[in-house]
Structure 1
Amino acid sequence: MKACQVSVVVPCFDEEEVIEAFHRALLAVLEPIRHTFEICYVDDGSGDRTGARINALAAEDRRVRYVSFSRNFGKEAAMLAGLRMSRGEVVVLMDADLQHPPELLPRILELRKSGYDQVVARRDRTGEGALRTLLSAACYRAMGRCMDVEVVDGEGDFRLLSRKAVDAVLALPETDRFSKGIFSWIGFDTASFTYRNVRRAAGRSKWAGRNLIDYGIGGLVSFNNRPLRLAIHTGLALALAALGYALWIIVDVALHGVAVPGYTTLLTAVVALGGIQLATLGVIGEYVGRIYSEVKRRPHYVVRETSECPDRGMRPPGVLPDAESDAEPGSSSGVHVYEGRRRT
């Protein structure tokens, strides 16, 4: 099968309990619509039997393809691998936990017929806790004000991308990827609709509070440099405040003489300025750390096994060539990453 009309990319991490139910539900929707399709599973280094389940599905159905990572590299890397593996004219990204209902695929594909290069299924907040809903809304509002791209509350990874949009996403080489921002940054005509939020069919969410905060910070610094400018503005504001305070002290001394030194005022000022300096250094450090990651140019993931060639694995773009087969004559030997092993 050299090409197909629809590719469904499904990142998986510890989804042993639900992967087979998801696959059945997906086939029940895809087979009646009479499009040629493929299902691309990406096992993101699961610690359970998710990889074995996917392997069995691929053995039973030639429309199923998969890649298994050598360890957990994160969902961003898994989505990137799936997009690289996909061959369809359109690509649909879905989660395997059934929170992205397969029943919505016909509606998504119907909107694609209107010429949209992106079709986004946006979930509402039905069934979520009040605190989580409030924090999510506040986070999206903050990112909307600060980021150079538009990120909408409820719009996640459940979306359709045309081949043109997929090629645009794959052309972006950054190491620290924030897909929600990337999908918005590439543009193209986009349609969206809202669906009722669905709880996980089994297992537990991999996104705890700390992970969500880190993800939000990563997205914030990925698409703007406003935090750095905020540090400059804060410094200028503090300098003006200090100048005003100094003038007030001079006037007060001229009118009333020297009073007892204000220990509390001095201590408060030192602590406040120290906190601002540390926060500013943290912002600068976040950007420097991202520069460090980009300069190293490490691959986004390492493949352990793939349906393309199960005995050797598929070399992902960015992984160094095999020392025994692809090294140039006369080149010095080094450490090469391939199939999750180290060769010297």
Structure 2
Amino acid sequence: MKNITLIIPCYNEEHTLPDLISELSSLIGIHKSYTFHILFVDDGSTDATQSILKEYIKSLPITIVSLSRNFGHQAALQAGLDSAEESIIVLLDADLQDPPEVISDMIKKYEQGAKHVIAKRSQRNEKLIKKIPAHIFYYWAQKFSEFPFPREVADFRLLSPEVHTAYKSLPERKFFLRGIFAYLGFTPEIVTYTREKRQKGTSKYSWEKMIRLFLDSIPTLSSEPLRILFPLSKIVAATILTIVLLILLLWFSQGLSTNNLLLICFLLIGLSATYIIGTLSIIALYLHAIFQQSQNRPPYIIDSIINAEQ
């Protein structure tokens, strides 16, 4: 029988875990031709998440990879991918907004020959405050990406052993996983579903974390922002030069009052400062990514691994 490993990051999910595990038990019962393994990555939870998971270890094929602190959602997924043995991999969040029954559709696609199956949200039944930043994120991520990057697709996906092996061959230490899987290729098949509101617990993705994820995604997806700096600098320089020439022309032909001259000077300073700040921000974004990679630190630290044998 083929093996399927479900990788599920958890951070303070004590309220959703019983329902999630119940649904996963039903899923395992449906697909008897596969051997399932459930790998929960506890991302430094401070509630009863780990205690609840331990209650199910004897009855289900569960392994708990416990991280030494909260490293973040992407790092927790990476810990699961690195810890999983060669098998079919499914990435799934613990909040039940991405329904586990969709995995059955993914498995069908895999059985039809797909090596990479992604779950696309056809509808988001969420609050507007969550929808707006998500739409902005996907729009700009798609604009920046140098390779096909589908919209309304998060980390919920199935990876064949070939894709998992290709992922493990990459030298980077810290990933924006959606960008990495897009880079790997393996033209994905798509299943669609409706993303529901979170019924229990609270979302762990604040505005600050979403902005950080977006900024981290840019160096992974593209070098285009760096490439546009040179042509943009020529446009800005030409604009400033044109304004200066117009000022000189007006100065000699009509004269300019001190107030008008000061206003124009402030506009020129503002334009120049905006360009400089924007340029430095883009360069800093890529320098930060290079700095993180050069540190060669692991993106996560495993505190313990717990399974039925321990």
Using structure 1 for the length normalisation, give the TM-score: 0.83
What do residues 256-312 of structure 1 show as CA deviations (whole Å, max 9, x unaligned)? 3x432411111122123123212221221121111111111011211111026998x
**What is the match of residue 74 of structure 2?**
76
Question: 3-state SS of the aligned residue for 1:122?
Answer: strand
Give the partner amino acid of 1:194: T
Give the partner amino acid of 2:141: M
| Structure 2 unaligned blocks of 5 or more | none
What do residues 78-103 of structure 1 show as CA deviations (whole Å, max 9, x unaligned)? 11121122235311111111112111
Question: 3-state SS of the aligned residue for 2:124?
Answer: coil
What do residues 173-205 of structure 1 show as CA deviations (whole Å, max 9, x unaligned)? 323311111111101131102111222231011
Question: 3-state SS of the aligned residue for 1:14?
Answer: coil
Question: 3-state SS of the aligned residue for 1:73?
Answer: coil
- Tell me the distance in 1 between the aligned counterparts of 2:302 and 2:174: 19
- Tell me the distance in 2 between the aligned counterparts of 1:136 and 1:300: 24
Displacement after TM superposition at 1:27 (Å): 0.9
**What is the match of residue 300 of structure 1?**
299
Question: 3-state SS of the aligned residue for 2:26?
Answer: helix
How large is the Cα RMSD of the aligned pairs?
2.1
**What is the match of residue 12 of structure 2?**
14
1:57 and 2:41 aligned: no
Higher helix share: 2
Question: 3-state SS of the aligned residue for 2:150?
Answer: coil
Displacement after TM superposition at 1:10 (Å): 0.8
1:237 and 2:260 aligned: no
Question: 3-state SS of the aligned residue for 2:123?
Answer: coil
Question: 3-state SS of the aligned residue for 1:156?
Answer: strand
- Tell me the distance in 2 between the aligned counterparts of 1:128 and 1:222: 28
- Tell me the distance in 2 between the aligned counterparts of 1:309 and 1:18: 22
Displacement after TM superposition at 1:151 (Å): 2.3
Give the partner amino acid of 1:55: K
**What is the match of residue 120 of structure 1?**
118
**Which residue among 190, 193, 202 is the counterpart of 1:192?**
190
| Structure 1 unaligned blocks of 5 or more | 312-344
1:161 and 2:162 aligned: no
Instruction: Tell me the percent identity.
Output: 26
**What is the match of residue 141 of structure 1?**
139
**Which residue among 249, 256, 259 is the counterpart of 1:259?**
256
Give the partner amino acid of 2:106: I
Give the partner amino acid of 1:176: K
Give the partner amino acid of 2:257: V
Structure scoring higher RCO (CA < 8 A, sep ≥ 6) equals 2
- Seen in structure 2, the aligned counterparts of structure 1 residues 309 and 70 have a Cα distance that, compared at 3 Å, is farther
- Tell me the distance in 1 between the aligned counterparts of 2:240 and 2:139: 32
Question: 3-state SS of the aligned residue for 2:185?
Answer: coil
CA contact under 8 A between 2:119 and 2:157: conserved in structure 1? yes
Give the partner amino acid of 1:205: S
CA contact under 8 A between 1:10 and 1:39: conserved in structure 2? yes
Displacement after TM superposition at 1:4 (Å): 4.9
